[in-house]
Amino acid sequence: MTTLTDTIEVLNTRTSIRAYDPDVKISKEDLTQILELATKAPSAWNLQHWHFTVFHSDESKQKLLPIAFNQDQIVKASAVVAILGDVKANLNGEAIYGPLAEAGYMTEEVKDTLLGQINRAYTNETYPREAAFSNASLAAMQFMIAAKAKGYDTCAIGGFNKEAFVEAFDIDSRYVPVMLISVGKSVKPAHQSGRFPVTEVSTWL
């Protein structure tokens, strides 16, 4: 398998692919490695506000198909990964900062200060959901870049019934569905799409 190692090449060649070769299988090992790279994404306070529901078997993709409005790529792709956002990511704080304090990388006082800041932020009514979406989206983008670097194509899918998804797959209320990502091998190039020039999408001060 060809691996694209040049970051600029990966970013320039990544496109949204909706037509996949159904005969191409992605191994659990490859998919696990891509997920591991996705978890290297940044997150606020390093709380890692993501969870992945992986649809690897044909049976699971068939179950997902009607929930994703019968989009053909769901069953033709080698796998589909649901990106979930954690609205209670503040509960990760002790597990993240406790070992750092024990190892002497920070004092208990600093740890307690950070945990206090985190838990106060999570008393804000809108913050937990906003943080879940923004931080899980960082992992989603990193997943797509990592997949391209491994020689796979992807497409981010926002069109699916989120309520039905939660019910069908018994998703804990701690998590909110953010997007689906199909992953596999393209059978045809993506259709051409343009990008606004940087001059139209940036303001320099």
Among residues 41, 24, 45, 22, the alpha carbon closest in space to that of 120 is found at 45
State the residue for tokens 């870049």.
Answer: 145
pLDDT at position 192, please?
77
Element (H, E) at 81: strand 79-86
pLDDT computed for residue 5 by the predictor: 61
Query: CB-based burial of residue 180 (10 Å sphere; 0-12 exposed, 13-18 middle, 19+ buried)?
Result: buried
**Cα–Cα distance list, 7 to 2, 143, 149, 163, 183 (Å):** 14, 14, 8, 37, 19
**In terms of Cα–Cα distance, which of 145, 177, 157, 158 is closest to 76?**
157
pLDDT band at 3, cuts 50/70/90? Answer: low
Section 89-118 average pLDDT: 98
What does the block give as tokens for 124? 């804000």
Average confidence score pLDDT of the chain: 96
The answer to whether domain 7-187 has CATH 3.40.1260.10 is: no
The percentage of residues in the chain with a pLDDT greater than 70, rounded to a whole number, is 98
- Alpha carbon distance, N-terminus to C-terminus of the chain: 45
Residues contacting residue 44 through CB under 8 Å, at least 6 positions apart: 131, 134, 135
Amino acid of residue 29: E
- Taking only the tens place, the pLDDT of each residue in 54-72 is 999 999 999 999 999 999 9
